[in-house]
Amino acid sequence: MNLEKIQNEILEKEDNFAILENGKMIYCSFSSTDLKIEKNMSLKVIHFIDKDTEIDIEIASGISAKIEEIYYYVKNNVEINTNITIADYACLDYLNFERNEDSQKIITNVRIHLGKEAKINNKSIALFDGEVFSNQYVYLDGEGAINDSINVIINSSEAKQDFTYNLYHQVPNTNSTMVNYAICKKKSLLNVNTNGIIVKGAKNTNLSQKVKGLLMDLEAMISANPKLQIDEYDCMAAHGASIGAIDEDELYYLMSRGLTKEASETLIVEGFINPFLLEIKSKKFQNYIKYWSSKHI
């Protein structure tokens, strides 16, 4: 672990940060031995992972926190299990930037529990280089809980990648939105599954989920599978999916302004990532995401 290199690449002088090795804290810029957040704060969490790992994050009641989680070094065939608990009246602004060092299979499982009137602004960018089985489970356990998710997946690995997102509305008066952007290149296969579950008794629930797929090459394949399981009448739920190639008119316009086809395609794909970058204050971290994204576009 080269702390100076990490600081140069993604950390600002004022950043609170924690470095974890296989889920265990090895360095923290403030006084803590775990990821139990008990005061309002912003935090970067940097992971080094080379074996199966458990990660636990807890946001205490009434706390407002921002966490930027970075898979800085992930290698070997590993399974990563992340458990996030957001207590009553707490709010978490969460960005997870995922990538790995080699083309071996990665399994990720993220489980998020929200208490009464808890909220998560839930964003992720996935740039894996090989086979992936990724599952996210969001449980809206308390009345008034809110989940807003945006996920960007870029698969240029020429391998199969499966991403499954599950939203469980367990109680009345909960809201969730999810938008997934799936971008596929070369001979890659990308499966994006979204499951929205509204249990009986979860009245006044609002649920919306969308998938937008972008095929960058003729041999690339995307499968989008949005599903709803609704056991309550008094609710609103919607889902949808669209998959297509880059709009030829948009591509022609950019090329007519002097850009190459490759540069035009890159600019269009960057449009999916820019909303994330606008919310990141750190220029270093912005540039870090841009650098790794450019390697997959």
Range 182-192 average pLDDT: 96
Within a domain: 237: yes
pLDDT at 153: 96
pLDDT at 12: 92
Total number of domains in the chain = 1
Within a domain: 63: yes
Cβ–Cβ under 8 Å, residues 89 and 118? yes
Instruction: Flag whether pLDDT at 262 surpasses 90.
Output: no
pLDDT band, residue 135 (cuts 50/70/90): very high
Instruction: Flag whether pLDDT at 257 surpasses 90.
Output: no
pLDDT at 25: 95
Q: Which domain holds residue 102?
A: 3-246
Within a domain: 276: no
The whole-angstrom separation of Cα 34 and Cα 16 is: 13
pLDDT band, residue 87 (cuts 50/70/90): very high
Within a domain: 181: yes
Within a domain: 261: no
Within a domain: 284: no
- Of the chain, the percentage scoring pLDDT greater than 70 comes to 100
Using DSSP bridges, classify how beta strands 53-59 and 78-86 pair: parallel, antiparallel or unpaired.
parallel
Q: What is the pLDDT of residues 155-179, one digit of tens each?
A: 999 999 999 999 999 999 999 999 9
Within a domain: 148: yes
pLDDT band, residue 95 (cuts 50/70/90): very high
- Torsion of the alpha carbons at 296, 159, 167 and 54, rounded to the nearest 10: -90
Within a domain: 254: no
Least confident interval from 55-69, 70-84, 239-253: 239-253
Which pTM value belongs to this model? 0.94
